Copies of this chain bind each other. A is one copy, B any other.
Amino acid sequence: MYDILKTINSPADVKKLNKVELETLAADIREALFNRLTKIGGHFGPNFGIVEATIALHYVFESPKDKFVFDVSHQSYPHKMLTGRKNGYIKDECFKEDSGYTNPDESEHDLFNVGHTSTSVSLATGLAKARDLKGGTENVIALIGDGSLSGGEALEALDFAGSELNSNLIIIVNDNQQSIAEVHGGLYKNLTELRETKGAAANNFFKALGLDYIYEENGNDIQAMIKVFQKVKDINHPIVVHINTQKGKGYKLAEENREGWHWCMPFDKETGKWNVEFPAESYTSLTAEYIMNKAQKDKDFVVITPAMPMTAGLFEPMRKQLGSQYVDVGIAEEHAVALASGVAKAGGKPLVVTNATFIQRTYDQISQDVCINNNPVTILLNYTSFDGLTDVTHLGIFTIPAFANIPNLVVLVPTSKEEYLNMLDWSVEQREHPVMIIMPGNAVTSRASDKDFSTLNTFKTEQAGEKVAILALGDFYQRGQELAAEIEKELGFKPTLINPRFASGLDKKLLTNLAKNHQLVLTLEDGVMDGGFGQKIAAFYASSPMKVKNYGLHKEFYDRYDPQELLRQLGMMTEQIVADVKNLI
């Protein structure tokens, strides 16, 4: 097993192989992918589809002198195996050594930590620009999937490369006819036309931008890939190499269901069944249910997503059923948000759904297109919690500092199923405010909730007490409950427990009243404290005798951490906080 792969310690070893051995290497890489992915999951389709092209890249070019930039880098597993990191795939005990993305800390063959889409061409032009300033001669190669092309950052960079960079840059467009979900946008019609004409169509998006262009049909044929890369190696201007590959190549189930196998949990290779139990009810399934019901009842309601339907539990049949009330703009977050602003302005009821980490692309659109105009757009974010996605490129913990400081934006942080659904429905229906809702990351819990949130910044006292008040935001409300119980047990008095509900403003009346019979306010937030909720509370009381202590995450790019261990390090376990309270009162 892995006979050839075992011999590969660096790209130099790839260059020594003959044609048959190269084919065996491809088979070995797929076996190694199965080994890792069946056991710990990860990106499936992108890696299985790019095996041959990656082998050819390392066969033809001279990494690390020549520089590869992988878009999203979720297709970099074969590259990692060929650059000294095969153990992360063939030895189970080494899985943790490799992240799921390129990572300069792992290898000099990785240039950037990348996890968001559409950045590769832009980053590569920067490498090329510095090379030109320094008089270097290396090749710079960006590998970008068709799904990533629709992102503004990629489009801006292609436009730039088409006229402003008059030196070597090789842009490999890996066309597997699939984004995360199905592809959307006029560009994809053009890619289809180009595939159907084997690159000969007069209508050519890349050429229209001034880029040289070449097409290769057999993207899963090592020799064909070697040939095309040899042709463009050391080219003296930017060129697009459009290659046709099969997403999920080598696993029938993945070839047939490209969306379902973009990414996978640990699974059984024979059956394809994921080894994971999904709860019958989750905030995601509740979201999908809400959306389907709402859409049927209200023709003005429209769901907009930048290629992230599954983050709201919208399986394909649901998307079909939603029809014109469902808009997948492709990977184009900026457009998704501005589109929603237009819809809201004209009387529609738009709900934008995506992952928290990707909404960062739209800071300016949320501020300018939505909030200055005060258009009633609802933005629903999944995976904001510290225990959601733990890769450094996918953290949601910056959401509140990044967005809750934008004027006019109402940021709602629900703490139960009832509260979540009531906030969602209130937000979609009201016409006064742009709203961002943080989808809970916890298991579903039930607790009665208000239905109207139109009096902004009204915190809810869930338990009235004395001496100590706990303001526990969103997913950390349950920790607040536990803390309140423990304080009562340990310290012999009942503290006040408050569900702030709004992360974007203060309930000044409630806070002022607290001063009457409280001496300490604790804030618990599921995110970074800098610029966050707790610091606003601290500032409110800063010139008064009230003591405040903030609990939350530090301003740091955490990476692949153990969430519970992190809380302990941060002194946020209940017993640690109780100890603090003893010292402070």
Residues of A within 8 A of B (CB): 67, 69, 104, 111-116, 119, 122-134, 150-153, 155-164, 184-190, 202-205, 207-211, 299-300, 302, 324-325, 327, 329-330, 332, 334-335, 338-348, 350, 360-361, 363-365, 367-369, 371-373, 392-393, 398, 401-402, 404-408, 520, 528-532, 534-536, 538-539, 541-544, 547-550, 555-557, 584
Q: In the complex, which of the residues A329, A335, A550, A555 has the most CB atoms of chain B within 10 Å of its own CB atom?
A: A335
Cβ–Cβ contact A129 & B186, under 8 A: no
Given contact pairs A126-B339, A346-B131, A327 touches B164 in the complex (Cβ within 8 A)? yes
Q: In the complex, which of the residues A67, A122, A408, A520 has the most CB atoms of chain B within 10 Å of its own CB atom?
A: A122
Residue numbers in B under 8 Å from A345 (CB-CB): 111-112, 123, 126-127, 130
Cβ–Cβ contact B332 & A113, under 8 A: no
Cβ–Cβ contact B334 & A130, under 8 A: no
Residue numbers in B under 8 Å from A115 (CB-CB): 368
Copy total for this chain: 2
Neighbour of A205 across the interface among B112, B114, B119, B209, CB < 8 A = B209
Docked complex Cα distance between A55 and B111 (Å): 53
Residue numbers in B under 8 Å from A334 (CB-CB): 122, 152-153, 156
Cβ–Cβ contact A557 & B133, under 8 A: no
Cβ–Cβ contact B153 & A405, under 8 A: no
Neighbour of A208 across the interface among B124, B150, B163, B208, CB < 8 A = B208
Neighbour of A531 across the interface among B156, B210, B405, CB < 8 A = B405
A-B contacts besides A164-B185, A202-B202, A542-B542, 9 pairs, CB < 8 Å: A112-B373, A124-B342, A155-B156, A208-B208, A398-B406, A407-B555, A520-B543, A535-B539, A538-B539
Given contact pairs A164-B184, A360-B367, A539 touches B529 in the complex (Cβ within 8 A)? yes
Residue numbers in B under 8 Å from A122 (CB-CB): 334-335, 338-339, 342, 365, 369
Cβ–Cβ contact A162 & B134, under 8 A: no
CB distance from A470 to the nearest CB of B (A): 14
- Subset of 20 A-B contacts with CB under 8 Å: A104-B373, A119-B365, A125-B342, A130-B343, A130-B345, A133-B348, A150-B159, A160-B329, A161-B186, A162-B187, A163-B184, A186-B208, A186-B211, A203-B207, A205-B208, A361-B364, A367-B398, A404-B530, A541-B542, A543-B547
Given contact pairs A324-B133, A535-B536, A185 touches B163 in the complex (Cβ within 8 A)? yes
Residue numbers in B under 8 Å from A528 (CB-CB): 405
- Give A238's nearest chain B residue, CB to CB: B186
- Give A202's nearest chain B residue, CB to CB: B202
Cβ–Cβ contact A542 & B547, under 8 A: yes
Q: In the complex, which of the residues A347, A404, A405 has the most CB atoms of chain B within 10 Å of its own CB atom?
A: A405
Residue numbers in B under 8 Å from A520 (CB-CB): 543
Given contact pairs A153-B365, A345-B112, A209 touches B184 in the complex (Cβ within 8 A)? no
Given contact pairs A364-B116, A405-B398, A187 touches B204 in the complex (Cβ within 8 A)? no
Q: In the complex, which of the residues A211, A299, A372, A539 has the most CB atoms of chain B within 10 Å of its own CB atom?
A: A539
CB distance from A294 to the nearest CB of B (A): 13
Neighbour of A160 across the interface among B112, B114, B210, B335, CB < 8 A = B335
Cβ–Cβ contact B348 & A130, under 8 A: yes
Docked complex Cα distance between A345 and B102 (Å): 14
Cβ–Cβ contact A405 & B406, under 8 A: no
- Give A131's nearest chain B residue, CB to CB: B346
CB distance from A493 to the nearest CB of B (A): 19
Docked complex Cα distance between A148 and B325 (Å): 30
- Give A122's nearest chain B residue, CB to CB: B338
Residue numbers in B under 8 Å from A159 (CB-CB): 150, 155, 185-187, 330, 332
Given contact pairs A186-B161, A364-B116, A130 touches B372 in the complex (Cβ within 8 A)? no
Docked complex Cα distance between A104 and B127 (Å): 44
Neighbour of A393 across the interface among B327, B372, B404, B538, CB < 8 A = B372
Residue numbers in B under 8 Å from A373 (CB-CB): 104, 112-113
- Give A201's nearest chain B residue, CB to CB: B208
Residue numbers in B under 8 Å from A113 (CB-CB): 372-373
Cβ–Cβ contact A123 & B364, under 8 A: no
Residue numbers in B under 8 Å from A543 (CB-CB): 520, 547-549, 584
- Give A184's nearest chain B residue, CB to CB: B164
Neighbour of A530 across the interface among B104, B302, B338, B536, CB < 8 A = B536
Cβ–Cβ contact B204 & A188, under 8 A: no
Given contact pairs A186-B159, A347-B134, A407-B555, A368 touches B116 in the complex (Cβ within 8 A)? yes
Residue numbers in B under 8 Å from A335 (CB-CB): 122, 125, 153, 156-157, 160
